[in-house]
Amino acid sequence: MEKIQEEILELKKQLGSELLILGHHYQRHGIVELADKIGDSFGLAKAAAEATGVKSIVFCGVRFMAESAAILCRDDQKVYHPEPEAGCPMADMAPMEAVEEAWSILTSRPDYKARKMIPVTYMNSHAPLKGFTGKHGGAVCTSSNAKKVMDWAFTQGDLILFFPDQHLGRNTAKLMGIKEEEMRVWYPSKPDGGIDSLEGVKLLLWNGHCPVHMKFTVRDVEFVKKNFPGCLVAVHPECPKEVVDLADAVGSTTHLVDWIKDLPHKTRVFVATEVNLVRRMQQDNPHLRVEMLSRSLCPTMYMVDLFKLKRSLEKIIDKTEEAVPMPDEIKGDALKALERMLALA
């Protein structure tokens, strides 16, 4: 164990059971070793919602995850983010002004009249978008429950506006039997979002993506399938549909971690997700040949490091650390959208 990790353990001891450190699967190894719970976005949001006896939650992940914990935690709890600048480029692709504009354009179209649109936002979005979603009768989803949430949304309306990740939306729609011609991409920069007609349309996909998962290509999958006959390919659903279609397994980070464990000894499996997780899957499964489909690092996840975690704990002890701000006017509606998701779990 590194010296700084021992120092962090000492600070953890001082804070005792009042402290809960949550860490996403994409965090650096040193952080993962010290976190009280590691998980996917859904598992960590649930852990924050269920954290009894805890006063301080330190979230090692990106901002939307820390914000979600701040929405879900009790009023007497505080959430801290060791690096408040660690955002998510995908979440940035759906700014509130553009979302409000899209909603207003769509709902005032003549061909919208007899329709009812329900917003569904991926967890990977800013808190105000979760608030907007809650206010308009929609729900949050994560990569582990997108189908459940979209199935539910179709009991509430007949058209879903899904943001910000068009790939998770499209991959989920395929599982639900929604056809390509029943989907349209909403391009915020085009007049009318680039949508000519809503007739027969069930799903509107916001034009957003994850740069980390866009690095995995059909060529990568074809290459490994050709050169390593019998190998398996496991991917995250933020990958483009053409890549997901060729994969042997698809799912959230926790799903991928669990799925790989039971594979027969010596199976060669190529994983298409963030490199820190793939490295850990390699270490944790010495009975397998786990490989990266391609090396792809999430730079914002990487911004959280042991020094920042240590400083955050010291400041919590000194009572000088700033908690993740969550204004009441956002929290109320965002909580509705998150609770709708949790109720479906």
User: Site for ligand 13P (CB under 6 A): which residue of 27, 68, 125, 253?
Assistant: 253
Count, in order, helices (H) and strands (E) of the chain. Answer: 15, 13
Find the part of the chain contacting ligand SF4 (CB under 6 A) among 132-140, 194-202, 210-218, 226-234: 210-218
Residue 62 C-beta: closest distance to ligand 13P, Å: 7
What contacts 177, CB < 8 A, 6 or more positions away? none
CA distance 231 to 167: 24
Ranges within 9-48 binding ligand 13P (CB under 6 A): 25, 40-42
Read off the tokens for 237. 């659903």
Read off the tokens for 134. 């809650």
Chain CA centroid to CA 125, Å:
8
Read off the tokens for 317. 């002890």
CA distance 335 to 105: 26
User: Site for ligand 13P (CB under 6 A): which residue of 145, 171, 252, 276?
Assistant: 252
Residue 9 C-beta: closest distance to ligand SF4, Å: 27
Residue number, 161 or 210, with CB nearest to ligand SF4: 210
88 binds ligand SF4 (CB under 6 A): yes
Ranges within 127-156 binding ligand 13P (CB under 6 A): 142-143
Residue 253 C-beta: closest distance to ligand 13P, Å: 4
Ranges within 226-245 binding ligand 13P (CB under 6 A): 236, 238
Residue number, 123 or 309, with CB nearest to ligand SF4: 123
Residue 25 C-beta: closest distance to ligand SF4, Å: 10
CA distance 300 to 302: 5
DSSP states of 253-322: HHHHHHHHHTSPTT-EEEEES-HHHHHHHHHH-TTSEEEESS----TTGGG--HHHHHHHHHHHHHT-PP
68 binds ligand SF4 (CB under 6 A): no
What contacts 73, CB < 8 A, 6 or more positions away? 48, 49, 51, 57, 79
Residue 150 C-beta: closest distance to ligand 13P, Å: 16
Taking the CA atoms of the chain, what radius of gyration do you get in angstroms? 21
298 binds ligand SF4 (CB under 6 A): yes
Site size toward ligand 13P, by CB under 6 A? 12
Chain CA centroid to CA 312, Å:
23
Ranges within 312-341 binding ligand 13P (CB under 6 A): none
User: Site for ligand SF4 (CB under 6 A): which residue of 84, 89, 95, 157?
Assistant: 89
Chain CA centroid to CA 225, Å:
28
Residue 209 C-beta: closest distance to ligand SF4, Å: 9
Residue 153 C-beta: closest distance to ligand 13P, Å: 19
CA distances (Å), origin 288, targets 206, 229, 261, 269: 38, 15, 9, 8
User: Site for ligand SF4 (CB under 6 A): which residue of 35, 212, 263, 271?
Assistant: 212
Residue number, 166 or 310, with CB nearest to ligand 13P: 166
User: Site for ligand SF4 (CB under 6 A): which residue of 70, 90, 201, 288?
Assistant: 90
CA distance 118 to 113: 14
The strand pairing partners of 37, in sequence order, are 22
User: Site for ligand SF4 (CB under 6 A): which residue of 27, 68, 121, 124?
Assistant: 124
220 binds ligand 13P (CB under 6 A): no
List interacting residues with ligand 13P (CB under 6 A).
25, 40-42, 124, 142-143, 210, 236, 238, 252-253
